[in-house]
A and B are shown apart, each in its own frame.
Chain A
Amino acid sequence: MSRVVVVGNGMVGQRFVETLRARDVDGRWQITVLAEENRPAYDRVGLSAFFSGATPEELSLVPEGFYDHEGDVCLKLGAQVTEVDRDRKVVRTVDGEYPYDALVLATGSYSFVPPVPGHDLPGTFVYRTIDDLVALRDYAAGRGVGAVVGGGLLGLEAANALRLLGLQTHIVEFAPRLMPQQLDESGAAMLKVQVEALGLTVHTATKTERLEPGADGAVKSMVFGDGQELGVDLVVFAAGVRPRDELARKAGLTVGERGGIAVDETCRTTDADVYAIGECALMIDRVYGLVQPGYAMAEVVAQQLLDQPATFKGADLSTKLKLLGIDVAVFGDAQGELDVVYADPAYGVYAKLALTDDAQTLLGGILVGDASAYATLRASIGGPIPGKLADFLGSGQVEGTLPGTAQVCSCNAVTKNDVFEAISDGCKDVPGIKACTKAGTTCGSCVPLLKSLLAEAGVQQDKAICEHFAFSRQELFDLIRVRGITTFSQLVAEHGQGRGCDLCKPTVASILASLGNGHVLEGEQATLQDTNDHFLANLQRNGTYSVVPRIPGGEITPDKLIVIGEVARDYGLYTKITGGQRIDLLGARVDQLPAIWRRLVDAGFESGHAYGKALRTVKSCVGTTWCRYGVQDSVGLAIALEERYRGLRAPHKIKCAVSGCARECAEARSKDFGVIATENGWNLFLGGNGGFRPRHADLFATDLDTATLVRYIDRFLMFYIRTADRLQRTAAWLESLDGGLDYLREVIVDDSLGLCADLDAAMDRHVGSYVDEWRATLEDPDKLRRFVSFVNAPDAPDPSIEFVTERGQRVPAQHRQPVVVAGTRLPVREVDP
């Protein structure tokens, strides 16, 4: 086995390890990674998400367990390399030596700090690592004014961070405009207007002369070239990066005049056994400061180590970013022979396309304020513009077609032809194309384009629920609401065909319940319900049911606990604490359910809706009532929320949690909606859980008072119930919303669709009309008649249900048997009675 040592575990170094690991099927290489930082590779591009609540773990790029297999791949954290001894082919750290057959330098770059006097005062920072961000956040607490030196991509990122930390923020740029590397004058001017509209102050064409300390020795003011002075509490340097080539220099490898380890197009340095990739590499006189070219280099080296020839073929330097919430995209070569410019200062939109002088070929462009046309335009580089300019510049609506060779997804080098091939192989939707071609799986900016390619290929995006209705769930919802339909029979007669099935009937039942059409077992509605809703309990594997009484917020009195224990004992039920702080009573026969409920209802319990696609539980910690750390009453809020939303039917089951402080004992971020107490109120997180594909909830709003919090949750739930697909969880629903969380915020905070009054009224109706389904069933002899095991032997228990005892409780007797998948056909001769 040969040994490869990788110095650096940044994004590019990690990509190299993963690529080599995936391709080295014969196990030819043993990999050792030496990382200077104390945490494995994380998403440096997404670093700013740290300030909107992302944890370092969420930014991690290393798949769980990736480095657990000591032996063939091993990661040493906090291992600073001090020397590369090329003669002996070893790498030295403080702790020891690592011999190599091949060495890959992926040392990245460091933040450039201009040598102005005072640049090293306390209160000055760079913006590069998670540790930098933690230090910045801790220092910023309680301070008022911050300045960022540098108005490029990184500077704007840093400025957004200061803004999110609550500082009055200044951006100081030496060049006459923002993003001087990427934007032209007009684009930058539009960006500046938008940045200033957010309350930031932009100083362009301004040189920082020196920083001066206050009485405590920390930075107190900035003095500019023109003598002007600005009082500041902290300064962030984001004026560019420089390649980290010091190891290579010391080892005698060739480096560039302005830094960077010189490599050829195979990423080899002047020593054939040493490679350099990413931001530390000077690839034929050029250092690439973007991650995409670094990934391409990682691929090149991995292939060569496996004796597959590969060279670096240049890189697409296009970028699309959301800086301070403003769309900015630059693609191709924005310096053309003929420029077409569209500017709309009223809407903060600027677009410039660079064309050849015959206006026939697109070379590149710049989009500020609205980058929705980015994916299509980037894919059109080198060919004609996809349609009439005036039709889509600014509007983002693109008509016309792309050439087949156009690269639709540049992250994964997928062309339009590739996508069409996947479609003709049977891919019918975006997830299918993603799985088949990898398009849209990295940055995701081409997903809207994939949708339009599907349409172009004539693929009907089938939204129909089943053969009985040619409508999506949302369309059915609107149809039922607007036409005032109250029964399934009317709906299927007027708008469907056949008599329904197990897909559409429960869906319609849920919609009718959401629109307040009474008890789920009322009249015809009973026939629509899945067995759980039909018997108001959960079907288990042996045909028995489990019963879960509601325990709001998980708070329960000793007397009620005793009642549950007595009921379980008297009916021989297996008891278990659920994942949602309630008690599950399992093993009840259909004919036992009413008597069990009667005991529970008499003791003050009501249905916990554990059987329904409905609100289940609101979990909580003990909050200020008991906890010495709690900052709000999490139990009180959890009970209030659970009682408010109990019985609410939805496309999928919904769970919630309330944590009394940031320690998050209730695990609120793993719920459909989660609330975490702050010193000033409540933070609201939406769209967590995700089922088999776990997802953390996103921070939606901060420091809300209770009334506002409840209104936002009302609207979130109602909007979800009205627009989600059948069985679509809030997590998937949120991901499928065009515009995502920002769009949701516009709808339920800014009321951009004018829907809020309607959503509020719908929730108020729900809250006002709630009745306990168990109690209502017990009070209605017609409904109770259903609860028999056999219609012709009401008192006979089901003989197929048998129990055995395990760990002191009754469990289904056949629960270890394999599932039978085929029955036999018994021929029967017809004889009339």
Chain B
Amino acid sequence: MTAIWTRQWTEVCRFDDLEPERGVAALVGGDQVAVFRTHDGAVYAVSNYDPCSGAYVLSRGIVGTRGHAPTVASPMFKDVYDLRTGECFGQPNVMIRTYAVSCTDGIVRVAARDPS
């Protein structure tokens, strides 16, 4: 069965608040979300929860690339995740949630689950 949500957008910060190639954590509808700005100006949002360690730390990881994929490496045990899909490199069963991001008028918004 596939669950379906409608999106509810939450303002997170200004685009200028994001440092290139570094993340911030944000509270989005009760979720901890890690928001990253990559070197080319793209913005990604994934869960801040690192499933390999059980700690909410992904926003503090090192941003980089693997091949063409933008990545973040968990600061805890260095597992590397694809920022676009949430897939973990090297661990086929491990994923993190991804969130839709919009960036308009210099404001970064992240879509959270509908609370209903």
Contacts and interface: CB of A to CB of B under 8 A. Distances in A.
A530 interface: yes
Interface in B35-67: 35, 38-39, 47, 49, 51-57, 60-67
A539 B77 CA distance: 11
Contacts of B10: 792
B71 A501 contact: yes
B109 A502 contact: no
Interface string A447-489: 0000000000000000000011000000000000000000001
A819 B75 contact: no
A830 B4 CA distance: 9
B49 A823 contact: yes
A531 B91 CA distance: 22
Nearest to B74: A502
A63 interface: no
Interface in A492-544: 498-502, 504-506, 524, 526-532, 534-535, 539, 541-543
A825 interface: yes
B95 to A, nearest CB: 5
A817 B53 CA distance: 10
A527 B20 contact: yes
A831 interface: yes
A505 B71 CA distance: 13
Given A502-B64, A505-B62, A527-B22, A828 B5 contact: yes
A648 B24 CA distance: 29
A561 interface: no
B19 A539 contact: no
A833 B109 contact: yes
Nearest to A523: B19
A824 B95 contact: yes
A822 interface: yes
A427 to B, nearest CB: 22
Interface stretch (A305-313, A397-405, A793-801): A793-801
B38 A499 contact: yes
Contacts of B102: 833
A530 B5 CA distance: 36
Contacts of B22: 526-527
A789 B6 CA distance: 28
A829 B12 contact: no
B25 A822 contact: no
A822 B64 contact: no
A789 B5 CA distance: 27
A820 interface: yes
Contacts of B56: 543, 798, 800
A526 B102 CA distance: 26
Interface residues of B, number: 60
B75 A823 contact: no
Nearest to A814: B54
Contacts of B78: 502
A499 B21 CA distance: 9
A821 interface: yes
Contacts of A792: 10-13, 26-27
B55 A542 contact: yes
Contacts of B100: 828, 830
A790 interface: yes
Given A542-B55, A827-B3, A791 B64 contact: no
A821 B70 CA distance: 22
A826 interface: yes
Contact of B93 (A504, A535, A822): A822
A502 B52 contact: no
Given A791-B13, A793-B27, A539 B57 contact: yes
Given A792-B26, A819-B54, A506 B95 contact: no
B64 A505 contact: yes
B2 interface: yes
Contacts of B80: 501-502
Interface string A156-173: 000000000000000000
Contacts of B17: 791
Contacts of B32: 790, 798, 800
Contacts of A798: 25, 32, 56
A490 to B, nearest CB: 13
Interface in B95-111: 95-98, 100, 102, 109, 111
A151 B61 CA distance: 64
Contacts of A822: 51, 91, 93-95
Contact of A539 (B11, B75, B96): B75
A468 B78 CA distance: 17
B63 A820 contact: no
Nearest to A509: B62
B89 to A, nearest CB: 10
A828 B91 CA distance: 22
B111 A833 contact: yes
A501 B90 CA distance: 15
A403 to B, nearest CB: 42
Contacts of B25: 789-791, 798
A539 B58 CA distance: 12
A499 B94 contact: no
| Most central of A468, A790, A819, A830 by chain B CB within 10 Å | A790
Interface string A767-804: 00000000000000000000011111100101010000
A790 B21 contact: no
A161 to B, nearest CB: 49
Contacts of A820: 51-54
B4 to A, nearest CB: 5
Nearest to B7: A831
Contacts of A534: 60
A621 B66 CA distance: 48
Contacts of B91: 821-822
B6 A800 contact: no
A791 B35 contact: yes
A527 B19 contact: yes
B24 A791 contact: yes
A817 B54 CA distance: 9
Contacts of B111: 833
A825 B95 contact: yes
Contacts of A529: 62
Interface of A: 467-468, 489, 498-502, 504-506, 524, 526-532, 534-535, 539, 541-543, 788-793, 796, 798, 800, 814, 817, 819-831, 833
The 4 closest A-B pairs by CB, nearest first: A502-B73, A531-B75, A501-B64, A823-B51
Given A498-B66, A505-B62, A822-B93, 13 more contacts: A502-B73, A539-B75, A791-B17, A793-B26, A820-B52, A821-B91, A822-B51, A822-B95, A823-B49, A828-B5, A831-B7, A833-B102, A833-B109
9 contacts: A502-B64, A505-B64, A527-B20, A530-B62, A530-B75, A791-B24, A798-B32, A814-B54, A820-B52
